[in-house]
Structure 1
Amino acid sequence: MSAARSLATVAGAVYGSTAMLGVGLATGLWRNEQNRWVHHVGYVAAVALTSATVAVSALREHDGTRAALAAAALVPLTALPRVSTRSRRHPLVALTAAPWLIAAIARRPR
């Protein structure tokens, strides 16, 4: 497995676990008034790993397709902090990154 694909896989796993944590918080299944930072750290890690996927794909492995797919996932991720967590738009914006991350993980170079 290439380094870029490994990074994309880890980014997808962190993104998914952070999303599930967010769902738990939003539905009240998990309460963490004292530890809300855990969700924020997951978000920062997902953005950092996705950014690393773009960089490694483009610069080291010369895989422009994977870099573009991961970069497309960064668009909703970077917009996410500007969307109120109390609105219905927050999970929708967050979910728009998922197909791009999945495509970056599934990409098989020729």
Structure 2
Amino acid sequence: MSLSRGLAIGALAVYATTATMGVGLATGAWRNERHRWVHHVGFIAATTLTAATVVAGLRDAPGRALAAAPALLPLAALPRIRTRSRWHPTVALTAAPWLVAAVARPDRKE
């Protein structure tokens, strides 16, 4: 497995966990008044791993880098959108298809 593939899998896993946590917070299924930082750390980790996927993919899987790069746009916009607005989950979900596409890209044969 290439480095970029491992990073993409990690980015998708952390993203999915953080998104699930966000849904739990929005629906009231999970409360985190004292532990809000957990959701923030997940967001930072997902964004960092996505950026690392793009950088590593430039060397070992350019198609994966191209697939993951668009996910950085909604991730960059997300902190500027109010969490209680209807746009926060909408923008957050637009990163998902790009991360799935990055994971689904096969490694380059050498």
For residue 32 of structure 1, what is the aligned residue in structure 2? 32
Gap regions ≥5 residues in structure 1:
none
For residue 43 of structure 1, what is the aligned residue in structure 2? 43
What is the aligned-residue identity percentage? 63
* Residues 51-90 of structure 1, C-alpha deviations (whole Å, 9 max, x = no match): 00001000x31x2221111111111111101111010110
| Partner Cα separation in structure 1 for residue 56 and residue 85 of structure 2 | 35
| Partner Cα separation in structure 1 for residue 42 and residue 63 of structure 2 | 25
| Partner Cα separation in structure 1 for residue 101 and residue 68 of structure 2 | 8
Deviation, 1:5, is: 0.5
For residue 88 of structure 2, what is the aligned residue in structure 1? 90
Q: Which runs of 4+ in 1 moved over 3 A?
A: none
Deviation, 1:2, is: 1.0
Q: What is the DSSP-based 3-state SS (H/G/I as helix, E as strand, rest coil) of the residue aligned with 1:44?
A: helix
TM-score between both structures, scaled by the size of structure 1:
0.95
For residue 78 of structure 2, what is the aligned residue in structure 1? 80
RMSD of aligned Cα (Å): 0.9
